[in-house]
Homo-oligomer: A and B are copies of this chain.
Amino acid sequence: MTMAMSSALLTDHYELTMLEASLRSGAASRRAVFEVFARQLPGGRRYGVVAGIGRVLEALERFRFEDEDLAFLRDNQVVDEPTLDFLAGYRFSGHVYGYAEGECYFPGSPIMTVEGTFAEAVLLETVILSVLNHDCAIATAASRMIRAAGSRPIIEMGSRRTHEMSAVAAARAAYLAGFSATSNLMAGHVYGVPTTGTAAHAFTLLHDSEEQAFQAQINSLGAGTTLLVDTYDVAQAVRTAVELAGPNLGAVRLDSGDLAEVAHEVRKQLDALGAHKTRIIVTSDLDEYAIAALASAPVDVYGVGTSLVTGSGSPTAALVYKLVAREDADGVMRPVAKKSVGKPSRGGRKDAFRKLDATGTAVTELVTVSGDRPADARPLQVQLVKEGEVVGRERLEVARGRHRDALAELPATAHQLSRGYAAIPTVFD
């Protein structure tokens, strides 16, 4: 099983050379605070969706340097023997705080805060960012699609268009953001995401006629199944489908052509054949814009593949993991920040709150370094890891519900599909 492997080598080489150099200089044991945040929302998005928190916690629990990992590091002279000794005994013993999964975020939101010694916290950078950059990108795209689809369900079916393990995480992120189901069986097995699917064109082509293929599918999956009707001629296929399955045919799927136009024709034909309850599922390179454009078409379910798993133009969330405070030579915690051109960072350990107006609509993302808790704002960070122990585990359904709530709280401008500014401003205090 995937989940059992060590995650320790899913790490950039330089994390280990920094560890070695800091062990030698003595700075390795300084207390340190790292923060994960986005400098901007990619693609002119109005909000981001926090996803992958549960996967970060899994990766953190599996972050152990096994003998095999250590042998690789030794054989390739990545680090010296004292560093290998440190790694052999490595267990993260610090704290992690973060936005609960499903929350929305904005530029500068401290999505995750890792506190520990420099040595133990720096090692986690790569795997934390890999998980969050992927999952947040997918969930953010998925959330826009859900909004565009209104009350119509969306099925995730993009596994084949992305790395085989990204596919599993993408199905999880899409479900978190409101998708109804996935085609990916591993996501069903590992994360309990509902799975679904019926047949591809290959199934129709396999048989000597479309009629034989449809009959075979109905015999196996029942009249409530979804028949794919665009292998040859759509009108003929719909006629055959209803003849064989009767008016209780579950659905027909359209995967090519001008989907709006074809959906109108097929709806008319289904109704004329008495199949009023037969649903129409459309697939074929849909994204949030195509979904929105089909709002007035008689479509019942959307299937989304490529654009979901590739973040619909923004395949990574551009999150960074930055040292914001560390102990100095006198044992005092000091805020730190680099001054590199065009890459703003703010020093100091931050906390975050969402300010709402009297109607419960979000108005400001308040990011503070004071440690004070404003009275009239919702705190956003929760503790995820306490002294190395995961305390923030939760069921995916909980995060899914949280996202629904977080989305309902945003102002209407958050749901514009056009490129623009974040839906609410981030105020640093």
The residues of A with any CB-CB pair to B shorter than 8 Å are 1-2, 5, 7, 9-18, 20-22, 24-25, 27, 30, 32, 34, 59, 68-69, 72-73, 76, 78, 80, 118, 122, 125-127, 129-131, 133-134, 157, 159-169, 183-186, 188-189, 195-208, 212, 215-217, 219-221, 230-233, 255-257, 306, 309-311, 315-316, 318, 321-323, 326, 328-329, 336-343
Selected contact of A10 from candidates B11, B130, B168, CB within 8 Å: B168
Task: Give the CA-CA distance A167 to B59 in the complex, in Å.
Answer: 15
In the complex, which residues of chain B have a beta carbon less than 8 angstroms from the beta carbon of A309?
316
**From residue A169, how far is it (CB to closest CB) to chain B in Å?**
6
Task: Give the CA-CA distance A321 to B201 in the complex, in Å.
Answer: 11
Task: Give the CA-CA distance A159 to B12 in the complex, in Å.
Answer: 7
- Can you spell out 16 A-B residue pairs with CB atoms less than 8 angstroms apart? A11-B159, A12-B185, A13-B183, A13-B196, A18-B200, A21-B199, A78-B185, A125-B160, A126-B159, A126-B183, A130-B160, A130-B167, A201-B338, A206-B336, A257-B341, A306-B318
Closest to A80 in B: B220
Selected contact of A30 from candidates B15, B27, B125, B206, CB within 8 Å: B206
In the complex, which residues of chain B have a beta carbon less than 8 angstroms from the beta carbon of A220?
17, 20-21, 24-25, 80
Task: Give the CA-CA distance A140 to B129 in the complex, in Å.
Answer: 24
- Tell whether, in the assembled complex, residue B322 and residue A202 are in contact, meaning their CB atoms are under 8 Å apart: yes
**From residue A254, how far is it (CB to closest CB) to chain B in Å?**
9
**From residue A4, how far is it (CB to closest CB) to chain B in Å?**
8
- Tell whether, in the assembled complex, residue A206 and residue B165 are in contact, meaning their CB atoms are under 8 Å apart: no
In the complex, which residues of chain B have a beta carbon less than 8 angstroms from the beta carbon of A134?
162-164, 166
Given known pairs A204-B338, A232-B339, A341-B256, the reply for A219 and B21 (CB within 8 Å) is yes
In the complex, which residues of chain B have a beta carbon less than 8 angstroms from the beta carbon of A10?
159, 164-165, 167-168, 184-186
**From residue A336, how far is it (CB to closest CB) to chain B in Å?**
4
Given known pairs A199-B14, A206-B326, A216-B21, the reply for A164 and B9 (CB within 8 Å) is no
In the complex, which residues of chain B have a beta carbon less than 8 angstroms from the beta carbon of A169?
163
In the complex, which residues of chain B have a beta carbon less than 8 angstroms from the beta carbon of A78?
185, 188, 195
Task: Give the CA-CA distance A217 to B7 in the complex, in Å.
Answer: 26
Selected contact of A185 from candidates B2, B16, B342, CB within 8 Å: B16
**From residue A195, how far is it (CB to closest CB) to chain B in Å?**
5
**From residue A318, how far is it (CB to closest CB) to chain B in Å?**
8
- Tell whether, in the assembled complex, residue A72 and residue B189 are in contact, meaning their CB atoms are under 8 Å apart: yes
- Tell whether, in the assembled complex, residue A206 and residue B255 are in contact, meaning their CB atoms are under 8 Å apart: no
- Tell whether, in the assembled complex, residue A342 and residue B206 are in contact, meaning their CB atoms are under 8 Å apart: no
In the complex, which residues of chain B have a beta carbon less than 8 angstroms from the beta carbon of A338?
201, 204-205, 230-232
**From residue A225, how far is it (CB to closest CB) to chain B in Å?**
8
The 10 A-B residue pairs with the shortest CB-CB distance, nearest first, are A14-B197, A13-B197, A25-B216, A21-B220, A256-B340, A129-B160, A165-B165, A130-B164, A163-B166, A202-B323
Task: Give the CA-CA distance A13 to B183 in the complex, in Å.
Answer: 5
In the complex, which residues of chain B have a beta carbon less than 8 angstroms from the beta carbon of A17?
197-199, 220-221
Closest to A324 in B: B205
- Tell whether, in the assembled complex, residue B221 and residue A343 are in contact, meaning their CB atoms are under 8 Å apart: no
- Tell whether, in the assembled complex, residue B13 and residue A323 are in contact, meaning their CB atoms are under 8 Å apart: no
Task: Give the CA-CA distance A196 to B13 in the complex, in Å.
Answer: 6
- Tell whether, in the assembled complex, residue B323 and residue A206 are in contact, meaning their CB atoms are under 8 Å apart: yes
In the complex, which residues of chain B have a beta carbon less than 8 angstroms from the beta carbon of A326?
205-206
Of A125, A197, A322, the most chain B CB neighbours within 10 A belong to A197
Given known pairs A166-B166, A202-B322, the reply for A212 and B12 (CB within 8 Å) is no
In the complex, which residues of chain B have a beta carbon less than 8 angstroms from the beta carbon of A339?
231-233
